[in-house]
Structure 1
Amino acid sequence: MSAPYPVIASIVEGHGEERALLGLLQRIVPHLLPGAYADIQRPHRVPRDRMLKRDPLAQALTVVTARSPRPTGVLVLLDTDDDCALELVQRLRGHAQATHAHVPLVAVAAVREFEAWFLAGATGLAGHFGLPDDLAPPSDPEAIRGAKEWISRRMPPGATYQETAHQPSFAQRFDLDAARSGAPSFDKFCRDVLFLLTGERHPRQ
């Protein structure tokens, strides 16, 4: 069964991203392409060590592409931690090409971690979740090791950032345009989502 609109499936590595990415994609589709609609399917989680291996990734792709309506594209998302984003993306694409070459697929590696995007779009979080009203992004969000700790240090005494509790809510409030300007990997994410929506590649902002 095929749908008359884009259907986006996704594969993520963490429990927090299962909910956060779903909400983020639902938010960002009309932000990137006003008036657009896409069926955003619930992310499928595969632990990082398995996602980076060909056979487990192939199994995950088989699962998500068997859904109805059938996805028109798949987004794979993981954190780089201390690895090279380009190498991770190339590895994922290579594995996917070897087993599911017929599937339109984009791979995004959030530099350092998913939360670096929140740092880049921190102005949208200001005054919420106990964060200060004057919260501002650091100069180079993707260079920071420990984005979660950066957020925790700016929360009220005794409160800490918890991935599964905060990630979905933060994903609904961080400043998308500021994040796109301040975090190149988020800009890539936006361009890849546009590709899944339109089938056209878009230049880096």
Structure 2
Amino acid sequence: MSTGFPVIASIVEGHGEQKALRGLLQRLIPHLLPGSYAEVQSPHRVPRDRMLKRDPLAQALTVVMARSPRPTGVLVLLDADDDCAVGLARQLRQHARETHAHVPLVAVAAVREFEAWFLAGATGLAGVAGLPDGLVPPPAPETIRGAKEWLTRQMPRGASYQETAHQPSFVQRFDLDAARSGAPSFDKLCRDVEFLITGKTPGRDTQH
């Protein structure tokens, strides 16, 4: 069934992203491209160790491409952890080309972890979930090991950051523009989302 507008499917590794990514994309698309609309489908989760293998990734792509309406593009998202974000994204795209070359696909590896984007856009989280009203981003947020722990340290004593509990609300509040400026892998996500909506590759391209 053709909808006449973009339909974005996604494959993620974590339970938190499975709950939060759809809301992030629904917020991000009109922010990046005012007046644009896309249907954002619920993320399909595949554990990281399987996602990085060709056949399990192919199985996941077959599953999401069988949905109705049929996706016009797929976003694959995972944390880079200690690996090279550029290399991981390239590996995922290569595997996808070998089995689903017809599927428009982008792959984004968040440098260190998804929560590094929250650190970069931390001003938007001031006062949320007990975070201080004067919350400011740390320097070079993508170089920090333990972004989740950083968020916990900003919370009241006895509270802690919980991925599945906090990600869905934090994606609605963190500062998108600051995150794009402070976290290159989030800028990569923004450019890839623009590509999925418009079919045009933005000028800057550091992870492709």
TM-score by length of 1: 0.99
Distance in 1, matches of 2:204 and 2:154, equals 31
Query: Corresponding residue for 1:172?
Result: 172
Aligned residues: 205
Query: Corresponding residue for 1:151?
Result: 151
Matches within 5 A, 1:63-74: 63-74=63-74
Distance in 2, matches of 1:203 and 1:163, equals 33
Confirm or deny that 1:32 pairs with 2:32: yes
Query: Corresponding residue for 2:19?
Result: 19
Report percent identity of matched pairs.
Answer: 79
Give the match's secondary structure for 1:26. helix
Query: Corresponding residue for 1:197?
Result: 197
Query: Corresponding residue for 1:98?
Result: 98
Distance in 1, matches of 2:203 and 2:184, equals 12
Structure 1's consecutive aligned runs of 4 or more residues displaced over 4 angstroms after TM superposition are: none
Stretch of structure 1 that moved more, 126-135 or 40-49: 126-135
CA-CA distance at 1:52 after TM superposition: 0.1
CA-CA distance at 1:204 after TM superposition: 3.2
Matches within 5 A, 1:84-163: 84-163=84-163
Instruction: After superposition, give the CA deviation of every residue in 1:131-160 in whole Å (9 maximum; x if it has no partner).
Output: 001100011000000000000000000000
Instruction: After superposition, give the CA deviation of every residue in 1:91-128 in whole Å (9 maximum; x if it has no partner).
Output: 10010000000000000000000000000000000111
Distance in 2, matches of 1:118 and 1:203, equals 25
The answer to whether the 8 A contact 1:81-1:111 is kept is: yes
Distance in 2, matches of 1:44 and 1:2, equals 21
CA-CA distance at 1:3 after TM superposition: 1.2
Q: Which amino acid aligns with 2:150?
A: W
Query: Corresponding residue for 2:46?
Result: 46
Matches within 5 A, 1:51-62: 51-62=51-62
Distance in 1, matches of 2:2 and 2:50, equals 29
The answer to whether the 8 A contact 1:187-1:204 is kept is: no
Give the match's secondary structure for 1:74. strand
Gaps of 5+ in 2: none
Gaps of 5+ in 1: none
Give the match's secondary structure for 1:81. coil
Give the match's secondary structure for 1:67. coil
CA-CA distance at 1:85 after TM superposition: 0.5
